[in-house]
Amino acid sequence: MNQLRPVPETPPRAVLYLRQSISHDDSISLELQETACRDYCAARGYQVVAVEADPGITGRTWKRPAVQRVMDMVEARDADVVILWKWSRFSRSRKDWAVAADRVEVAGGRIESATEQVDVGTATGRLTRGMLVELAAFESDRIGEVWKEVHQSRLSKGLLPTASRRYGYAWDADAGMHRVDPDEARWLVEAYSMYADGIGFRRIVTHLNAEGSRNVRGRPWSMEVLINVLDAGFGAGLITWKGVMHPGAHEPVIDEELWQAYRDRRAVAVGIPPRAKGSPYLLSGLVKCARCGTGMNGQGRGYRQSAAFVCRRYKEYGREAAEGCYGGYTSMAFIESVVLRELQGLADEVDASADVEDARSVAKVSAEGELRRLSQELGRVDEHLERLTVQLAEGVVPVEAYGPARDTLLTRRQAVVDRLEDAGRAVREAEVDRGAVARRLVDEWRKLPIEQRRELLRALIERVEVTTSSLTAVTGTAGGSSSALVNVVWKSQSAEG
């Protein structure tokens, strides 16, 4: 029981800091903590000027709104002492505790515990507090290790580490896993299909919201939420946990082919500059200055002048930095007319050539051979990992040597997996009917939305090189002449080079 002490002439101003743990074993209600802290302050004559609480937030992070407000109060001299229910309420991180204690002491304040009372003004008291803080950190580490084991166990069974709901699925509490929700699953499949067909996320979001589809929170879709849902791959039967994909035990709603088509397009899109993704210009991100190799920016020229491309390096840094580039504006209409003419030639060439199919077959066989080789290498790495685990269990490999060896094999495995994805993409690209894509673009040039035309062009074209001859604007129109030279570099040409 606390002993009453004389009340000082100027009562110290106390701010109570409360935190309710997310761990059920260590969760004490905020009301009980506040009562204990207020009783402690009353017994010592402290004036309670504020109560700050972080409900349901782990003590392993320092990114807590209330604890930051408490620190600001002490440093602003608005409070003299911080009162905690237990030392562990402030932080379970050794580093954060040390930094916080130093900041409070530098500001002339102090931290006290209502239930673990020690006199930190003495060496023994500081040692005792240090031991209590270390015990809190130890308990945090122990809980973290337990949860890590639980998560790994569930992942090994193809289950999500948490029971949080995923779009397209309902949580089956009895079975402990996710089941397909038919109503949401059809929207999920449609979103994947639309994106694989070349439709942008913005239009997909507009379509879903117009049709009455809502996300897991019952709210209209946003681009960010939709991208996160699709990229996670849960609908493809995968579980993404801490940035790594694992095979899931739940039923996929899309097949492997659609998932790969989505991934392939996303891989291309990620490499496109953000401004080019939503650009109103058809060839944004594809046009390069042939003289200095820099991308060319599209811009509307204004009154009586057509939209044009200009070398970004020359425009931003001048001729000296542009390595011999003359700058100059090249009409978009002229460049697009050249691209369309080259597409027509490609479509006609493929239609007339009997060797194209043979070339595609050779490329496919070569890519498939690389795919088989990498698959075999992945199998060998997995065998090494399994053998290493067995040797650890049998005592052949010591524990201290197991960790580094395992990490080396896992790094090697990830590298093989990355190369496997590239090889798989090469196989699918070899199967692309370039002539059919070119023919569709030619026939539907004015009908297809600009985003879809741009995606189809990216499947065929590596870059469009433009060589300007002077600072004079090049204003050639479709079918007209221009002093600029435009060269379309197809993806197959780039690979051969």
More confident residue, 14 or 313: 14
Residues 6+ apart with CB under 8 A from 29: 20
Average of pLDDT values for 56-67? Answer: 73
| pLDDT over 80 (residue 386) | no
Structure confidence at residue 323 as a pLDDT band (50, 70, 90): low
The answer to whether 116 and 86 are in contact (CB under 8 A) is: yes
- Comparison of pLDDT for 485 and 265, the residue scoring more: 485
pLDDT class for 479, splitting at 50, 70, 90? very low
CA distance linking residue 438 with residue 350, whole number of Å: 9
Question: Using CA atoms, how far apart are residues 312 and 294, in angstroms rounded to an integer?
Answer: 7
pLDDT of residue 48: 93
Paired sense of beta strands 287-289 and 461-467, if any:
parallel
In CATH terms, the superfamily for domain 13-143 is Resolvase, N-terminal catalytic domain (3.40.50.1390)
Q: What is the pLDDT of residue 460?
A: 83
Is the pLDDT reported for residue 4 higher than 60?
no
Confidence of residue 15 (pLDDT cuts 50, 70, 90): very high
Q: Would the pLDDT of 147 be above 80?
A: no
The sheet with strand 461-467 has its strands ordered as: 287-289, 461-467, 485-490
Q: List the structure tokens of 339.
A: 């691209």
pTM score, whole prediction: 0.43
Contacts of 278 (CB under 8 A, 6+ apart): 202
The least confident of 244-258, 354-368, 392-406 is 354-368
pLDDT at 13: 93
- SS3 string, 324-372, reads CCCCCEEEHHHHHHHHHHHHHHHHHHHHHCCHHHHHHHHHHHHHHHHHH
Alpha-carbon distances, residue 421 vs 292, 372, 416, 418 (angstroms): 32, 12, 9, 5
Whole-number Å distance between alpha carbons of 266 and 421: 13
Provide the pairing of β-strand 308-311 with 329-331: antiparallel
- For residue 396, is pLDDT > 80? no
Confidence of residue 330 (pLDDT cuts 50, 70, 90): confident
Q: Each residue of 186-244: pLDDT tens digit? A: 999 999 988 887 788 888 998 999 999 999 888 999 888 999 899 888 888 888 776 77
Output phi, psi for 296, to 5 deg: -105, 135
Contact between 57 and 19 under an 8 Å Cβ cutoff? The reply is yes
Class of residue 4 by CB neighbours under 10 A (exposed 0-12, middle 13-18, buried 19+) = exposed
Q: For tokens 């060439």, what's the residue?
A: 349
Per cent of the chain over pLDDT 70 is 70
- 358 pLDDT exceeds 70? no
Percent of the chain with pLDDT over 90: 12
User: Which tokens sit at 229?
Assistant: 């849902």
65-69, 86-90, 147-151: range with lowest mean pLDDT: 147-151
Per-residue confidence (pLDDT) for residue 191, from 0 to 100 = 92
Question: Which pLDDT belongs to residue 356?
Answer: 47
Question: For the chain, what is the mean pLDDT?
Answer: 76
The tens digit of pLDDT for each residue in 167-188 reads: 999 888 777 788 899 999 999 9
Confidence of residue 7 (pLDDT cuts 50, 70, 90): very low
Say how many C-beta atoms besides its own lie within 10 A of residue 273's C-beta: 11
Instruction: Tell me the CATH number for domain 169-271.
Output: 3.90.1750.20
Contacting residues for 201 by C-beta, under 8 A, at least 6 apart: 195, 223, 226, 227
With a cut of 90, say whether residue 42 has pLDDT above it: yes
* Domain ranges across the chain: 13-143, 169-271, 277-353+435-496, 355-433
Query: To which residue do tokens 């894509």 refer?
Result: 437
> For residue 96, what pLDDT is reported?
72
CB neighbour class for 174 (10 Å; exposed up to 12, middle 13-18, buried from 19): exposed
Compute the distance between CA of residue 332 and CA of residue 312 in angstroms, rounded to an integer: 15
Average pLDDT over residues 93-119: 80
Structure confidence by residue, pLDDT tens digits, 275-310: 566 677 888 888 988 888 888 888 775 544 578 888
